[in-house]
Amino acid sequence: MLTPKKWKKQLQEEHGTAIVMLALAMTVVLGSVALVADVGVNFFTQAHLSVAADAAALAGGTKLKEGTDRVIQTAVEVAVKNGIDADKVSVLVDGSGDGVTVTTKAPLQLFFATIFGSEGGEMAQSARVVMARPVGMYKMFPVGIDENQTFEFGQNYKLFAKKGTTDEIDLGAGNSGALEFTENASGAAEFEYYLREGYDELISLGDILYPKSGVKYSAIKSGIAARLNDAQALGHNCSPTTCPPDCPRILYIPVYHAYWENSKVVEVEVVDFAAFWIDATQLGNGEWKIDKEINGVFIRITKGGYISEVGESPYGITSGKLVQ
Ligand SMILES: [Zn+2]
């Protein structure tokens, strides 16, 4: 039988064991908490690095046509805006100039784990963007050009032209380039909507479109005026080189292969896309001076928001495609 004295000793011994057990358990628990906390922090850092690398590579990718320095400058700017230190960004432009790889880095966060003696390191995420061309676009303008028609970027031309003077796009007699997106489709109102807003559905390479006859100049005029007013309302400086890609003043037009029958175009097949910036003078009363044709210049532009494939189009619309 235990005497009160022995009881006390026994209890003290058990108490001592419990403290040791508790200390051991606490170490394991704290270690696990530290590990979980560090894994959590680093998981977020890793995701952050990845988002920043993607954004930087995509931004840099829009400048591939402007040379290596511009690509690097833009990519670093965007990475920094996304919270990465400038000295933790590396930008590698392909020798061919057709692609860019951005790597973002951050130290491995071992805030808790260092207590338990772990060594620090570095995390990195890479993103690669290559030059791409559109194979399907939305907001197509319902006037196109023939693939046999050549043009120079930045030079003045007239779209929707019926006669072959020097600056008119010559599409052949009786072909104005005006198009229907579906066979036997729209009335005048629908066509006027497309002039203002573009076609809502996706137009892809290989799609068949139909020539539209009987287009009134008044429709062209009101459509173009609406675009000019919308662009003005956006308040940016509208010029062929400074307009953002979604400016209503930029017409995205199909480049087509025409199928002729009895000296008439019966249907056309979309073979590429081009961007045409509308040139117009504003009169004193705020109205736009719009001729019977659509005046403007073909521009090179980098734009997203369409279906693309790796490659480059001679018609000047490019985008960067994230490939890794
Ligand atoms: Zn503009």
pLDDT in tens, the chain (324 residues): 556 666 666 656 666 777 777 888 877 777 777 777 777 778 888 899 999 999 999 999 888 888 899 999 999 999 999 999 999 999 999 988 889 999 999 888 776 656 555 566 888 999 999 989 999 999 999 999 999 888 899 898 888 865 555 555 666 666 788 899 988 766 778 889 999 999 999 999 999 999 988 888 888 889 999 999 999 999 888 999 889 999 999 999 999 999 999 888 899 999 999 999 999 999 988 889 887 788 999 999 988 778 888 888 999 998 888 887
CA 239 – ligand 1 centroid, Å: 6
CA 158 – ligand 1 centroid, Å: 18
Residue 223, both tokens: 């459509």
Spatial separation of the C-alpha atoms in residues 320 and 310, rounded to whole Å: 9
The CA distances from residue 71 to 79, 174, 219, in Å, are 12, 45, 42
CA 247 – ligand 1 centroid, Å: 5
Spatial separation of the C-alpha atoms in residues 319 and 324, rounded to whole Å: 15
Spatial separation of the C-alpha atoms in residues 50 and 102, rounded to whole Å: 10
Residue from 63, 44, 61, 57 nearest 104 by CA:
57
For 286, residues 6+ apart whose C-beta sits below 8 A from its C-beta are none
Spatial separation of the C-alpha atoms in residues 146 and 305, rounded to whole Å: 24
b/e per residue, 142-168, with b = 16+ CB within 10 A?
bbbbbbeeeeeeeeebbbbbbeeeeee
CA 243 – ligand 1 centroid, Å: 4
CA 18 – ligand 1 centroid, Å: 76
CA 31 – ligand 1 centroid, Å: 58
Residue 165 CB-half CA count within 13 A: 9
3-state secondary structure of 19: helix
Spatial separation of the C-alpha atoms in residues 170 and 176, rounded to whole Å: 9
CA 231 – ligand 1 centroid, Å: 5
Per the document, the length of the chain is 324
CA 226 – ligand 1 centroid, Å: 13
Residue 284, both tokens: 């004193």
215 alpha carbon, distance to own chain's centre: 34
Residue-level pLDDT at 182: 87
Residue-level pLDDT at 226: 95
In this prediction the pTM is 0.75
CA 246 – ligand 1 centroid, Å: 8
CA 225 – ligand 1 centroid, Å: 13
**Residue found by looking up tokens 């303008």 in the block:** 141
Residue 287, both tokens: 């109205």
Side chain identity, residue 105: K
Angle between helices 188-197 and 217-234 (to 10 degrees): 30
CA 26 – ligand 1 centroid, Å: 65
Residue from 159, 122, 128 nearest 254 by CA:
159
CA 146 – ligand 1 centroid, Å: 25
CA 227 – ligand 1 centroid, Å: 10
CA 297 – ligand 1 centroid, Å: 13
CA 301 – ligand 1 centroid, Å: 12
CA 280 – ligand 1 centroid, Å: 12
CA 229 – ligand 1 centroid, Å: 10
CA 236 – ligand 1 centroid, Å: 6
Helices (H) and strands (E) in the chain, counts: 4, 16
**Residue found by looking up tokens 């953002």 in the block:** 244
